[in-house]
Amino acid sequence: MTAPKKLFIKTYGCQMNVYDSERMAESLTGQGYVATDTAEDADMILLNTCHIREKAAEKVYSELGRLKPLKTAKPDLKIGVAGCVAQAEGAEIMRRQPAVDLVVGPQSYHRLPQMEARVRDGQKALDTDFPEEDKFEHLQGRPKARRAPAAFLTVQEGCDKFCAFCVVPYTRGAEVSRPVERVLGEARDLVERGVREITLLGQNVNAYHGAGPGGDYSLARLIWALNEIDGLERIRFTTSHPNDMDDDLIAAHRDCPKLMPYLHLPVQSGSDRILKRMNRSHTAESYLRLVECIRAARPDLVLSGDFIVGFPEETEADFQATLDLIEAVGYGYAYSFKYSTRPGTPAAERPQVDAAEADERLQRIQALITRQQRSVQDGMVGREVSVLVEKPGRHEGQMVGKSEYLHAVHLDGSNAAVGDIVSARITAAKANSLAGAPV
């Protein structure tokens, strides 16, 4: 028997890439690969890349530069680039970095086994198609390995919204929803392997409309179907667009026992002038009204958001409107980014905000967000939460997990096992986590 080949995958970008990396690893087990977590050991290195901001893509090229000597030392090593940079740059990657053997886009990675055979043969392999066949249905032969208690499950991919700053509609293509039975089947399989919490993924997950028994399923209906699966205890979904938050989904946050009280609902800006230029098709006011409805349904829900500062033509007054919106909402988490010009997107052609100005705004928004996150965390002290235990902590007798609000909780003096869901009283708020005692 030949020794297994070793596969090292490094993942950049969003949670969907984390999911995709797992699928790619599984698809290569048939070629005799096992995972390794050191690049130096590997027979194949795959970078699963992100193209969302300029820095994300540049990071990939510098990583490839660092990997090149490994290939000089071990000529049999194969290097591949997957994900959204692969989709956007295609063959340009091999021109810029000749050490790269394989380039595969996010919609064609089910063809990796054939591509691997080609590169083993000394050829280069490139596939950035949006194939007719469904990649999810071609990922057969998944090993039945035990899984960590929290898992991702992609239910929807691509985006038809075309926000003026965003590459996702180009790198991931048009919106596609997976059929209900496939999602339920994959969820049951995950549960059999030890998963207790599933986060449903989609670039625009709440626009989900999958074919199911008796017609089209909305995301809310899908969540209710998942709620029936024994052994699955927690359901989350991300990322949502404000315009696709329908009444059923809001009601599910009130009525569905397994749906967790946490929602990532990016708004991007608090200025209607900028929102319009971003092609966001909602206003600051409609967003605030929506937040009110969601909180009426589930008062303790923790909200998170994304913000872009320094979008073309953003004035100080526009930026102030964003700060005002953040103050009005009270986010438990928020992610803010300096606008990054993405070639081929409409906003790239517009008058850009001075870089120093944008930097200064980024610092101000981040200071506000940090204060707000801190105050939400402080508000947890004294409360009883439920914690899904994910791993042992640093000290003896400490376990680490996630609360229903997605806060990391360090449990001291716990005899809980990985995968248990335990009650805990929050005793203190730290910079990035909470401390809790079992009750």
Q: Which residues bind ligand SAH (CB under 6 A)?
A: 14, 52-53, 165-166, 168, 203-204, 239, 266, 268, 306, 308, 337, 339-340, 342
CB of 52 to ligand F3S, least distance (A): 4
CB of 21 to ligand SAH, least distance (A): 16
Distance CA 203, CA 218 (A): 15
The footprint of ligand SF4 on residues 224-263 (CB under 6 A) is: 241
Instruction: From 96-104, 158-166, 225-233, 293-301, give the range in contact with ligand SF4 by CB under 6 A.
Output: 158-166
Backbone angles phi, psi at 45, to 5 degrees: -115, 130
* Residue 308 site contact among ligand SAH, ligand SF4, ligand F3S, none (CB < 5 to 8 Å, cut-off depends on kind): ligand SAH
Residue given tokens 């609902």 in the structure block? 265
* Residue 337 site contact among ligand F3S, ligand SAH, ligand SF4, none (CB < 5 to 8 Å, cut-off depends on kind): ligand SAH
The footprint of ligand SF4 on residues 347-386 (CB under 6 A) is: none
Q: Site for ligand SF4 (CB under 6 A): which residue of 14, 16, 166, 376?
A: 166
* Residue 340 site contact among ligand SAH, ligand F3S, ligand SF4, none (CB < 5 to 8 Å, cut-off depends on kind): ligand SAH
Q: Site for ligand SF4 (CB under 6 A): which residue of 56, 163, 232, 321?
A: 163
Instruction: From 38-46, 85-93, 159-167, 344-352, give the range in contact with ligand SF4 by CB under 6 A.
Output: 159-167
Closest by alpha carbon to 7, among 27, 37, 52?
37
* Residue 162 site contact among ligand F3S, ligand SF4, ligand SAH, none (CB < 5 to 8 Å, cut-off depends on kind): ligand SF4
* Residue 278 site contact among ligand SF4, ligand SAH, ligand F3S, none (CB < 5 to 8 Å, cut-off depends on kind): none
Q: For the chain, give the secondary structure using H, E and C.
A: CCCCEEEEEEECCCHHHHHHHHHHHHHHHCCCEEECCCHHHCCEEEEEECCCCHHHHHHHHHHHHHHHHHHHHCCCCEEEEEHHHHHHHCCHHHHHCCCCCEEECCCCHHHHHHHHHHHHCCCCEEECCCCCCCHHHHCCCCCCCCCCCEEEEECEECCCCCCCCCCHHHHCCCCEECCHHHHHHHHHHHHHCCCCEEEEECCCHHHCEEEECCEEEEHHHHHHHHHCCCCCCEEEEECCCHHHCCHHHHHHHHHCCCECCEEECCCECCCHHHHHHCCCCCCHHHHHHHHHHHHHHCCCCEEEEEEEECCCCCCHHHHHHHHHHHHHHCCCEEEEEECCCCCCCHHHHCCCCCHHHHHHHHHHHHHHHHHHHHHHHHCCCCCEEEEEEEEECCCCCEEEEEECCCCEEEEECCCCCCCCEEEEEEEEECCCCEEEEEC
CB closer to ligand F3S, 62 vs 72:
62
Q: Verify binding: residue 161, ligand SF4, rule CB under 6 A.
A: yes
Q: Verify binding: residue 204, ligand SF4, rule CB under 6 A.
A: yes
Q: Site for ligand SF4 (CB under 6 A): which residue of 11, 107, 203, 414?
A: 203
CB closer to ligand SF4, 46 vs 159:
159
CB closer to ligand F3S, 168 vs 387:
168
What is the size of the binding site for ligand SF4 (CB under 6 A)?
10
CB of 14 to ligand SAH, least distance (A): 5
CB closer to ligand SF4, 159 vs 235:
159
CB of 355 to ligand F3S, least distance (A): 22
Which chain residues interact with ligand SF4 by CB under 6 A? Answer: 159, 161-163, 166, 168-169, 203-204, 241
